[in-house]
Amino acid sequence: MTQYSFTYNGVTYSANKETMDKLNRISAAENEANNHLTDVMGTGSQQEIDAAKAKSNYYSKLFDEEVENIKQGKLEKPVATSKEPTPFKKTSTTQVPVKNKPGDKVSTKSIGKLYFPDEIMLPSLEYKRMNIIMYESNPQSNMVKQLLKISKDDIKIITDTATNAISSNNPGDVISNGLNSIAKEVTDFNGTPEVSVVLPIPNELSDSMSNDYSQTDGIAKQLLSKIPGYSLANDMLGKAAAAMSEQRIIANPGYFQNYTGTTPRNFSFSFDFIPNSKEEAKKIIEIIMTLKKHASPKLVSGAFLQAPNFFWFFFSNNTLQKLTKIRPCIIKSIDTNYSGSSVLETTLDGMPKHIILKIEIAELRAVTKDRWD
């Protein structure tokens, strides 16, 4: 009977064709479930996210049970082999959907997946995961083309919306609803996923929302200030009242807070990297270098720089994800401390024994009410 080999979590196993086909079917189902989960994490309701996670966890657990059966000798025993593994590598890549135009065939792009430590991928530790997906930002010329691309149907929507808004008591609502389909194309996150990193949730986590207001004079004071000579007369009355020890009467300034905007949120994360093996040390180096690479600008034609990639941080912990709902963002700074224990200590091959990685991110857009629905 023909035997097939595959590698899972650093161990090579041997299985017959029937068992291998079963594992590949489970893996394909899990990849499909992960596709759907990635798609709904940013835009779906909490109920849709929970359902997608449950489906993904089901297939992940089912796969692990099959591998455990091999370990226990119920199917096949693990063997030491130098044969080339099959193309299937469950933990090396993750499938992320690539957005298509309506009517196009759905396609997927396989992106690299890095994680540390190894046990963070255990189903029992899912609630402790922070996921980071890095997106290649589309060139500005593509974005301009997208903004200028308006179909005949879109023009009809604009015309009908403007007509309805004129005769409506709530023109703002009409415009908002009528242009929703067009606005969605412009405001959707624009980028191509390239690589994902899975790390333990940081030791500290907080977020801060900041609204900008300016103190403004009321209408009465604004009108009085426009009267010629008002400022001089007001000053003289004040001095006279002070000289005669009288209580002065002034125009009510009617101060109010004028809303001027909302600042996109900022987050800071700190991660500790302490390798326990050469394999983990290699993973740490690859993760740090990958983050630095994608947070750096790209040199274009020698004279121009393309902005660094976009990032999406989200938690596998449902509660943390619901509380934070971090939008697509940029990395403002990466601070790497190679002497995490206050003294630089390295192994014999030069690998630092304790690295502290600090990342500061900022959301691309301000959070609005609909984000919390």
Mean pLDDT of 267-284: 93
Say how far apart CA 52 and CA 33 lie, in whole Å: 7
Flag whether pLDDT at 201 surpasses 90. yes
Flag whether pLDDT at 86 surpasses 60. no
Residue 167's pLDDT band (cuts 50, 70, 90): low
* Token pair in block for residue 315: 């938690």
Residue 185's pLDDT band (cuts 50, 70, 90): very low
DSSP secondary structure string, 35-64?
A: HHHHHHHTTS-HHHHHHHHHHHHHHHHHHH
- pLDDT for res 106: 33
Flag whether pLDDT at 320 surpasses 50. yes
- pLDDT for res 109: 40
How far lies 329's CA from each of 94, 131, 188, 364, in Å?
A: 21, 13, 13, 5
pLDDT single digits (tens) 348-373:
899 999 999 999 999 988 888 888 87
Nearest Cα neighbor of 354 from 276, 268, 292 is 276
The larger pLDDT score, comparing residue 1 to residue 263, is at 263
The larger pLDDT score, comparing residue 56 to residue 281, is at 281
- pLDDT for res 359: 95
Say how far apart CA 262 and CA 283 lie, in whole Å: 39
Flag whether pLDDT at 129 surpasses 60. yes
Mean pLDDT of 183-209: 73
Cis bond upstream, residue 102 (ω within 30):
no
Is pTM beyond 0.75 here? no
Average pLDDT, the chain: 74
Residue ranges of the domains in the chain?
1-91, 113-135+195-210+263-373, 145-180, 218-254
Mean pLDDT of 263-276: 93
- pLDDT for res 213: 92
The residue type of 241 is A
Nearest Cα neighbor of 22 from 95, 81, 74, 96 is 74
- pLDDT for res 75: 47
Flag whether pLDDT at 241 surpasses 60. yes
- pLDDT for res 83: 38
- Which of 179-188, 193-202, 251-260, 261-270 comes out lowest in average pLDDT? 179-188
Report the side by side order of strands in the sheet with 191-200: 93-98, 107-115, 191-200, 129-137, 310-315, 329-337, 355-363, 266-273
Nearest Cα neighbor of 70 from 28, 26, 12, 128 is 12
Report whether 19 contacts 5 (CB < 8 A): no
